[in-house]
């Protein structure tokens, strides 16, 4: 199995520019903080979230019922639409980071992603008329899944104009609208897939409901997002790169399953096949950003015995729902 290195997908010399763009985004959002909206838990709607973290001027609470972590107060839906249309960080990724790292991303992220989705279709005997990807971004997943020739139709939904245009230039059938405004007929999709999107949304339950409506009977919903109870998020807290101004919802395997069940779907599997947790925490220790002197066990695993136990430790996290990146597969009943 090929290994995934963080520097391949986030080229080091470009990250200073990315940080500047992100700081501009943060300032833009904080200028609008008076219009932020306090919300209940985005998974179970419980009201009494307890303060969990502060980062870059944003506040995150942890739900005592389902342990979802979430930004509250958070930018209103209108502010979020304007934010993603004008985000400096998104423009920077689109212009610099994606082009510089696309081949590494294609090989290490998008091709395995397409293989995994094809594996679900085979395992569950799912239909192959149409796959809809919600949040198609640069279009790389749509390209990879199309190249496999598994589906008769592949549709990308991508509301950001520049990204939708990139998809179009690649010959992908793209709908440049938010999913709430897409007028695809209900039941059109055998698979609805959405990668790293749900954590950005003001109303994730409405989003899952809309995805569920697009599914044909027996169709699969495939979601990926950060696991808010994963290793690097819990060890690093506010220092985790998964915690940022764009991520409003940090579900965990059980709370995301709860959201999906409330939308009438049957959860088939949840997994955390993440590969980067241990490396991300180790890197911060090596860079002196965190001190493992008070964490002798972590020091042993991540520094002293890294060559021997680093890989099996990461595998242990992945195998036990403890990695910070998760996949959920659900099914609409017949």
DSSP bridge pairs for 58: 55
What is the DSSP-derived secondary structure letter of residue 93? I
Nearer to Zn ion, 52 or 117 (CB): 52
DSSP bridge pairs for 74: 37
DSSP bridge pairs for 310: none
Rounded least distance, CB 40 to Zn ion, Å: 8
Query: How far from chain centre, in Å, is Cα 253?
Result: 13
Nearer to Zn ion, 228 or 274 (CB): 228
Nearer to Zn ion, 163 or 256 (CB): 256
Nearer to Zn ion, 137 or 226 (CB): 226
Nearer to Zn ion, 205 or 210 (CB): 205
Rounded least distance, CB 229 to Zn ion, Å: 12
Give the residue from 193, 230, 204 showing the smallest Cα distance to 330.
Answer: 193
Rounded least distance, CB 132 to Zn ion, Å: 28
Rounded least distance, CB 45 to Zn ion, Å: 7
Rounded least distance, CB 46 to Zn ion, Å: 5
Nearer to Zn ion, 20 or 46 (CB): 46
**Coil, helix or strand at residue 152:** coil
Q: How far apart are CA 178 and CA 175, in angstroms?
A: 9
Nearer to Zn ion, 220 or 243 (CB): 243
Rounded least distance, CB 92 to Zn ion, Å: 34
Return residues touching Zn ion (CB under 5 A).
41, 43-44, 46, 63, 65-66, 68
Pair 71, 60: CB distance under 8 Å: yes
Q: How far apart are CA 98 and CA 162, in angstroms?
A: 13
Pair 222, 192: CB distance under 8 Å: yes
Nearer to Zn ion, 34 or 50 (CB): 50
Residue 119: C-alpha distances to residues 72, 124, 152, 197, 315 (Å):
37, 9, 17, 21, 20
Pair 214, 188: CB distance under 8 Å: yes
Pair 201, 248: CB distance under 8 Å: yes
Rounded least distance, CB 62 to Zn ion, Å: 9
Rounded least distance, CB 43 to Zn ion, Å: 5
**DSSP letters for 54-81:** EETTEEEEE-TTT--EEESSB--HHHHH
DSSP bridge pairs for 174: 156
């Amino acid at each position: 199995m090929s290994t995934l290195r963080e520097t391949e997908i986030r080229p080091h010399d470009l990250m200073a520019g990315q940080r500047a763009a992100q700081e501009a985004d943060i300032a833009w959002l904080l200028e609008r903080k008076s219009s932020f909206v306090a919300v209940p838990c985005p998974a179970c709607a419980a009201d009494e979230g307890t303060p969990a973290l502060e980062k870059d001027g944003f506040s995150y609470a942890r739900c005592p019922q389902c342990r979802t972590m979430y930004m509250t107060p958070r930018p209103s839906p209108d502010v979020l639409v304007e934010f993603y249309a004008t985000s400096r960080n998104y423009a920077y990724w689109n212009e610099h980071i994606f082009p510089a790292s696309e081949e590494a991303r294609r090989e290490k992220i998008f091709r395995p992603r397409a293989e995994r989705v094809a594996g679900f279709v085979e395992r569950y005997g799912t239909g192959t008329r149409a796959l809809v990807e919600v949040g198609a971004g640069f279009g790389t997943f749509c390209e990879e899944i199309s190249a496999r020739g598994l589906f008769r139709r592949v549709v990308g939904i991508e509301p950001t104009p520049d990204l939708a245009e990139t998809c179009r230039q690649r010959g992908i059938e793209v709908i440049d609208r938010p999913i709430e405004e897409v007028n695809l007929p209900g039941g059109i999709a055998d698979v609805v897939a959405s990668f790293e999107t749900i954590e950005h949304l003001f109303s994730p339950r409405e989003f899952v409901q809309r995805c569920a409506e697009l599914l044909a009977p027996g169709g699969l919903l495939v979601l990926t997002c950060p696991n808010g109870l994963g290793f690097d998020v819990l060890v690093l807290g506010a220092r985790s790169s998964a915690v940022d101004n764009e991520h409003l919802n940090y579900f965990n395997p059980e709370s995301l399953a709860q959201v999906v069940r409330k939308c009438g779907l049957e959860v088939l599997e949840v997994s955390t096949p993440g590969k980067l947790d241990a490396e991300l925490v180790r890197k911060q220790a090596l860079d002196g950003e965190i001190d493992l002197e008070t964490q002798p066990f972590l020091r042993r695993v991540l520094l002293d015995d890294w060559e021997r136990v680093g890989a099996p430790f990461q595998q242990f996290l992945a195998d036990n729902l403890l990695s910070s990146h998760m996949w959920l597969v659900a099914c609409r009943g017949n």
